[in-house]
């Protein structure tokens, strides 16, 4: 990073000549200073003229010099935020200069929930003055220093456990993960989409962080390790460049295997771009989730090496949210809390991870570390006013939830002989030696039947099976675990399976009525 006074030798009202040349953003993108549009990284391009055209000539020149400093020293997102906040103020005031009167007027017009805009502007305008470029007077800085401003208010969705924008319930989270695996088994999504969904769900990392991962960030399966870890680039730190910092995150062996499969897919994609095998020294630099590489077909080997050091070959962060939303539509995944299609985003999954950690008794420091925060100022929201997140499920309430949750993934059959593998006695699923349904899978399954079967797509429950007895046993076990442990979280571990059984019971009642009337 440049020093704070770097480039500030110019006197107020003058712009150094070197600002007419090209410069490189912190993400490694070459930018033409005189251009009206600056591409700072793969996701952010700034319309410089939108601000410069609203300022008088000297102030416009000063603004571009300051924004260049930000682009070279701070993340594209932070630079863009400063650009947008200044643009908002200038459009509101319709003036060509930055004055104390204008700032006071702007503050009076901002609604309370938008006052955080001034916090961003305060930092940007003070840095502008410190760098010595024209546009910000001493009086403006004195006014800004006299203001005590709060940042953006965060965490309301978490505090309220908002069913549409807040953390997912345990049932919703499990449903999302199960849907991803089921969709992959049905060839409805690719291994890339499966890996994208699960890595966001299990790590709670931001899409930009995951999009910046490379093959070198995956664990080495050649080494015998008790804990498998991935290295995830940090992305929200304002002064961090592309992959400048990474942090390790422990993952399961199952997720590691899926990511390894995705790594092989990424390597094949890069081979297609190169028209040759990937060299050993190149493999680690390959993006774990490549973007559309068709536009790079004419790139020479020398350019390939340079571009591998940037985010150019990486997928757009929006790919992850789009994939999550597509998965919800494919699986027709509903929320048991709203009765409507589950609203999904990577932010909700981050909220979910923080909320679950707080429920397990983690403190602010550990939650901040888990979510890769630089400090604890936003971690407190997860442990403030923690409600009882998991309430006891009784049969009456559960039947209503079952209508919406769609936890049952199999197919109801009228009788055993109607089921796939119905003639194979080894496929029979039993409770206390009495059959409840048939497993239609030809593969090995080590699950302890029948509880996991009700959320499995291969399960074919019989209409006349003793599903009520299965449900009663599960509810009794849930209450017993709750009484013994005093822990609602442990007691609720099978809640989605309970809801699936309720759904089967309900479907059986409907089917029996149809058969009686037929």
Contacts of 457 (CB under 8 A, 6+ apart): 182, 185, 186, 409, 410
Write down the pLDDT at residue 375: 72
Write down the pLDDT at residue 151: 64
**Proportion of the chain above pLDDT 90, given as a percent:** 62
Concatenated DSSP letters of 381-440: GGTTT----SPPP-HHHHHHHHHHH----S--BSSGGGSTTTT-GGGEEEETTEEEEEE-
Of 374, 411, 97, 363, whose CA–CA distance to 240 is shortest?
374
Lowest-confidence pick of 44-48, 115-119, 418-422: 115-119
**Proportion of the chain above pLDDT 70, given as a percent:** 87
Write down the pLDDT at residue 401: 61
Residue 396 pLDDT > 50, yes or no? no
Please state, in angstroms and rounded to a whole number, the distance separating the CA atoms of residues 455 and 430.
16
> What integer is the mean pLDDT of 342-369?
88
Of 92, 66, 113, whose CA–CA distance to 104 is shortest?
92
Write down the pLDDT at residue 225: 64
- How is residue 384 written in tokens? 């403030």
Domain range summary for the chain, segments of one domain joined by +: 17-146, 207-316, 395-517
Residue 54 pLDDT > 50, yes or no? yes
Sign of the dihedral through C-alpha 466, 467, 468, 470: positive
Please state, in angstroms and rounded to a whole number, the distance separating the CA atoms of residues 205 and 288.
15
If one compares 489 and 299, the residue with the highest pLDDT of the two is 489
Write down the pLDDT at residue 89: 96
Write down the pLDDT at residue 406: 75
Residue 199 pLDDT > 70, yes or no? yes
Residue 15 pLDDT > 80, yes or no? no
Write down the pLDDT at residue 12: 41
pLDDT in tens, 299-333: 665 677 788 888 989 999 999 999 999 999 999 99
Sign of the dihedral through C-alpha 21, 26, 31, 33: negative
pLDDT in tens, 62-115: 999 999 999 999 989 899 999 999 999 999 998 889 999 999 999 999 998 888
If one compares 489 and 474, the residue with the highest pLDDT of the two is 474
224 pLDDT band, cuts 50/70/90, is: low
Residue 6 pLDDT > 50, yes or no? no
Residue 163 pLDDT > 60, yes or no? yes
Of 325, 508, 479, whose CA–CA distance to 402 is shortest?
508
Residue 42 pLDDT > 70, yes or no? yes
Write down the pLDDT at residue 444: 84
Write down the pLDDT at residue 13: 44
Write down the pLDDT at residue 428: 96
- How is residue 307 written in tokens? 């571009």
């Amino acid at each position: 990073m440049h020093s704070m006074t770097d480039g500030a030798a110019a006197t107020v009202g003058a712009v150094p000549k070197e600002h007419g040349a090209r410069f490189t953003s912190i993400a490694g993108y070459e930018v033409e200073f005189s251009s009206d549009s600056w591409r700072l990284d793969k996701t952010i391009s700034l319309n410089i003229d939108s601000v410069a055209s609203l300022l008088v000539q000297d102030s416009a020149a000063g603004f571009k010099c300051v924004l260049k400093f930000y682009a070279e020293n701070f993340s594209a997102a932070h630079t863009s935020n400063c650009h947008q906040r200044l643009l908002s103020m200038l459009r509101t005031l319709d003036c060509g200069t930055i004055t104390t009167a204008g700032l006071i007027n702007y503050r009076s017009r901002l609604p309370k929930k938008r006052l955080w805009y001034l916090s961003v502007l305060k930092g940007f305008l003070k840095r502008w003055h410190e760098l010595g470029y024209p546009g910000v007077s001493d009086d403006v800085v004195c006014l800004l220093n006299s203001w005590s401003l709060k940042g953006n208010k965060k965490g309301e969705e978490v505090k309220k456990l908002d069913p549409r924008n807040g953390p997912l319930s345990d049932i919703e989270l499990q449903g999302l993960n199960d849907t991803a695996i089921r969709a992959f088994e049905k060839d409805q999504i690719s291994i890339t989409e499966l890996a994208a969904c699960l890595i966001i769900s299990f790590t709670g990392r931001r899409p930009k962080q995951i999009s910046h991962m490379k093959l070198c960030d995956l664990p080495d399966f050649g080494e015998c390790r008790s804990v498998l870890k991935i290295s995830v680039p940090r992305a929200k730190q304002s002064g961090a460049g592309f992959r400048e910092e990474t942090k390790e995150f422990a993952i399961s062996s199952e997720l590691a295997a899926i990511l390894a499969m995705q790594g092989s897919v990424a390597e094949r994609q890069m081979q297609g771009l190169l028209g040759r095998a990937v060299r050993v020294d190149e493999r680690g630099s390959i993006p774990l989730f490549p973007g559309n590489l068709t536009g790079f077909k004419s790139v020479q080997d020398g350019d390939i090496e340079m571009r591998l050091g940037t985010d150019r070959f990486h997928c757009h962060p929006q790919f992850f949210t789009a994939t999550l939303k597509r998965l919800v539509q494919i699986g027709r995944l509903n929320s048991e809390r709203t009765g409507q299609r589950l609203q999904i985003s990577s932010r909700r999954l981050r909220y979910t991870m923080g909320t679950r950690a707080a429920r397990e008794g983690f403190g602010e420091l550990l939650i901040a570390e888990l979510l890769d925060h630089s400090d604890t100022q936003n971690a407190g929201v997860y442990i403030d006013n923690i409600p009882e997140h998991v309430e006891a499920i009784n049969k009456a309430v559960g039947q209503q939830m079952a209508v919406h949750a769609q936890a049952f993934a199999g197919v109801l059959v009228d009788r055993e002989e109607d089921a796939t593998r119905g003639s194979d006695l080894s496929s029979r699923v039993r409770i206390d030696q009495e059959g409840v349904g048939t497993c239609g899978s030809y593969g090995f399954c080590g699950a302890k039947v029948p509880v996991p079967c009700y959320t499995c797509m291969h399960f074919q429950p019989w209409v006349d099976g003793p599903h009520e007895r299965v449900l009663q046993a599960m509810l009794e076990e849930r209450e017993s675990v709750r009484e013994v442990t005093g822990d609602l979280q442990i007691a609720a571990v099978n809640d989605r399976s309970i809801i699936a059984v309720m759904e089967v019971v309900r479907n059986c009642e409907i089917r029996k009525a149809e058969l009686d009337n037929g």
